[in-house]
Amino acid sequence: MSTAPIITDLQKINPSAIIELFTITTDATLHGSAQTYRFHNGTSLNANGDIIWAGNQYLKMPIQAEGFAFRKGQLPRPTLTVSNALGTITAILLNVNQVTTGNDLTGATVTRIRTLARYLDAVNFPVTTTSTTTTTTIADPADAETVTYTVTVHNPGSGNIFRINGVNNPVITMKRGSTYIFDQSDSSNSGHPLAIKSDAGGSQTTTVVGTAGNAGATVTYQPAYPSAPNDLRYYCTVHGNGMGNTITMNDPNTTTQETTTTTSQQVNPLGTPDPTAEFPQEIYKIDRKSAENREVVQFELAAVFDLAGVRAPKRQCTRTEFPSIGTFIA
């Protein structure tokens, strides 16, 4: 429990509403079991249902609590009047009276909890939906191309090279965002698998189907927009760069794409939930049930000290028992 945030908030011009909550806790010996019942009167927050505070659910129930003010020389003996329209309190009384006849919750602990609306759990408030639209520049799908190259291996006299569409190891021009398929079905490709790499960054991701030199063997490369590097080349993974050549990389026409992300969450619009921020709790015992009918049940409460008949100071200290009282020690 921390009162510091409460004090700070109350010093503001418009502090949030004070939320008043009550718990009734039965005693295992007197009432058969130790259970805690939680209630709120629903007026402070105009709440239409239950309130969640520090993860605990407080049922909405008309409650009138009076007489909590301290008077000089006298401890308060408040009254707690609780709606009985749904028979909830009567049901609790019936349970405890089966253990101790006529107990009527006498000896149960009543705790008055007060906090501010700004510290309530977020689940008390409506779901807030936020939409964020992001605009991204992408390769225009209408400008994308799919090109298939027929690959064979040829030796013009100085060693094997790739021949692309009948041209000896040409410089190939590609466009980011497109698809390029190298068909290595011809048997001359056997033992000469083609791949693509960046001189600076190493191998590029390709999709390889089959084995070079066999029917249906292909290598597919899709240079991404805008990340595909400029320093690309095609080459033989067995015999090196000399069989291939460089690739000239161009950018495609572009367009924009909008992506909308929707986020739904519950947020306390008044502040930040804090299950420790509250006024000092006021703890009382039920002294007696003073009234009960179909509409309400009323209890008279007593401070713990008052109920036990404890007086302060409980014992006087005299010089007979304590000779040094009133003596100054240098």
pLDDT given for residue 146 in this prediction: 97
Do both 79 and 172 map to the same domain?
no
- 31 in a domain, yes or no? yes
Domains of the chain: total: 2
- Structure tokens given for 324: 């040094």
Do both 179 and 200 map to the same domain?
yes
Domain that holds residue 298: 4-125+268-308
**Ranges of the chain whose pLDDT falls below 70:** 1, 13, 43-48, 70-74, 305-330
- 168 in a domain, yes or no? yes
69 burial type by CB count under 10 A (0-12 exposed, 13-18 middle, 19+ buried): exposed
Of 232, 256, 280, which residue sits at a domain end? Answer: 256
Pairing of strands 179-183, 146-154: parallel
Do both 108 and 169 map to the same domain?
no
Stated pTM of the model: 0.58
Do both 99 and 26 map to the same domain?
yes
Assign residue 252 the CATH number of its domain.
2.60.40.420
Do both 189 and 252 map to the same domain?
yes
For 204, the 3-state DSSP assignment is: coil
- 328 in a domain, yes or no? no
- 169 in a domain, yes or no? yes
pLDDT given for residue 263 in this prediction: 92
- 143 in a domain, yes or no? yes
Do both 165 and 91 map to the same domain?
no
Taking only the tens place, the pLDDT of each residue in 272-302 is 999 999 999 989 999 999 999 888 999 999 9
Do both 94 and 12 map to the same domain?
yes
- 109 in a domain, yes or no? yes
- 320 in a domain, yes or no? no
Q: Residues near 151 by Cβ (< 8 Å), separated by ≥ 6?
A: 162, 163, 164, 182, 183, 184, 186, 189, 194
- 261 in a domain, yes or no? no
Do both 12 and 108 map to the same domain?
yes
pLDDT given for residue 330 in this prediction: 46
pLDDT given for residue 4 in this prediction: 75
Do both 248 and 290 map to the same domain?
no
Do both 191 and 237 map to the same domain?
yes
Taking only the tens place, the pLDDT of each residue in 188-221 is 999 999 999 999 978 999 999 999 999 999 999 9
Is the separation of the CB atoms in 261 and 132 below 8 Å? yes
Q: Residues near 257 by Cβ (< 8 Å), separated by ≥ 6?
A: 135, 136, 137, 138
Do both 88 and 165 map to the same domain?
no
Do both 17 and 104 map to the same domain?
yes
